[in-house]
């Protein structure tokens, strides 16, 4: 008979060992973020970079840091990552990459995949002592500026940059897609740049919304990132449909693709019904 019978999961040795490794990973991440903010970024600013945008150089450092951290978590046995179809994303801008957001480390995995990415991040990142210096130096954009944010995103695309957007605006509810905000649709419609969807799956689920970091699964989490075919905003012409209707229909296609895979040409889901109703205003959770 196993000696673990009757012992709460949180006190079993394998669980404690995995939780300890998870804590180590996030401690290392925090130290790394502080080093980038207070050592690497000041060095980047002090060294002349010619005509290169300093935010591009900071994003290159973040990209390498995210790749290292993904490797570190893999070495610790916490995660295993598979990327499928990423040739669909291309190598240069302008690009709008969108993804669902089931775990805490989705930004890290996507950042490790994209050498340059202007991330749309929650305003809370600017209040986080570990992150605020990094997100500011990288030129990331807070997601609470409404129409001004849409114009800022379009401006970056005109400079052949890559945008990374999580249309839910926060981590997904447990085992389903959250409400899709319409900011990504507005950016695509105004810029004419196709959306490049990436579906992220995690088995077993871990680091979900509302889940404590130490509530770890019993085995290595497999994160699968699947890049799908582009979503063409030209199928929803604002001049013909009106901007609100075009944004609503494009958001429904975004939702269907991220939740279920490719859609029919009319924007309806190919398979199960949609999991949630798209939000009405850009970058907000309102109806």
* pLDDT tens digits for range 191-246: 999 999 999 999 999 999 989 988 999 999 999 999 999 999 999 999 999 999 99
Give the model's pLDDT for residue 140.
Answer: 93
| Average pLDDT of the chain to the nearest whole number | 86
Dihedral, 202, 205, 208, 210 alpha carbons, nearest 10: 170
Which residue ranges form the domains of the chain, and what is each CATH number?
A: 9-260 (3.40.1130)
Contact 187, 154 (CB under 8 A): yes
Rounded CA separation 153/93 (Å): 13
Give the model's pLDDT for residue 235.
Answer: 95
Q: How far is CA 194 from the centre of its chain?
A: 17
* Reported pTM: 0.86
Give the model's pLDDT for residue 126.
Answer: 81
Give the model's pLDDT for residue 53.
Answer: 85
For residue 94, is the peptide bond before it cis, meaning its omega torsion is within 30 degrees of 0?
yes
Q: Is the dihedral of CA 178, 183, 187, 188 positive or negative?
A: positive
Tens digits of pLDDT across the chain (287 residues)? 445 555 456 567 788 999 999 999 999 999 999 999 999 999 988 887 666 788 999 999 999 999 999 999 999 999 999 999 999 998 777 999 999 999 999 999 999 999 999 999 888 888 887 788 899 999 998 887 677 889 999 999 999 999 999 999 889 998 789 999 999 999 999 999 999 999 999 999 999 998 998 899 999 999 999 999 999 999 999 999 999 999 999 999 999 999 986 443 344 433 333 344 444 445 443 33
| Other residues' Cβ atoms within 10 Å of the Cβ of residue 119 | 23
């Amino acid at each position: 008979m196993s000696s673990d019978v009757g012992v709460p999961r949180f006190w079993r040795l394998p669980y404690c060992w995995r939780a300890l490794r998870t804590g180590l990973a996030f401690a290392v991440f925090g130290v790394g973020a502080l080093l980038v903010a207070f050592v690497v970024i000041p060095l980047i600013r002090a060294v002349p970079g010619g005509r290169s945008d300093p935010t591009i150089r900071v994003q290159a450092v973040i990209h390498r840091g995210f790749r290292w951290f993904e490797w570190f978590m893999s070495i610790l046995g916490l995660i295993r990552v598979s990327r499928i179809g990423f040739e669909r994303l291309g190598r240069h801008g302008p690009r709008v990459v969108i993804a669902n957001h089931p775990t805490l480390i989705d930004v890290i995995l996507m950042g490790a995949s994209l050498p340059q990415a202007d991330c749309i991040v929650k305003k809370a990142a600017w209040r986080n002592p570990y992150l605020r210096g990094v997100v500011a130096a990288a030129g990331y954009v807070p997601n609470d500026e409404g129409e001004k944010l849409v114009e800022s995103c379009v401006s970056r695309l005109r400079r052949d940059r890559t945008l990374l957007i999580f249309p839910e605006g926060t981590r997904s509810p447990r085992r389903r897609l959250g409400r899709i905000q319409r900011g990504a649709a507005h950016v695509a419609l105004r810029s004419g740049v196709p959306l490049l969807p990436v579906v992220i799956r995690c088995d077993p689920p871990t680091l979900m919304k509302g889940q404590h970091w130490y509530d770890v699964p019993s085995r290595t989490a497999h994160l699968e990132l699947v890049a799908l075919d582009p979503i063409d905003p030209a199928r929803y012409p604002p001049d013909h449909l009106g901007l609100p209707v075009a944004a609503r229909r494009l958001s429904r296609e975004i939702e269907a693709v991220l939740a279920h895979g490719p859609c029919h040409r009319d924007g309806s889901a190919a398979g199960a019904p949609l999991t949630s109703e798209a939000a009405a205003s850009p970058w907000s959770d309102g109806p």
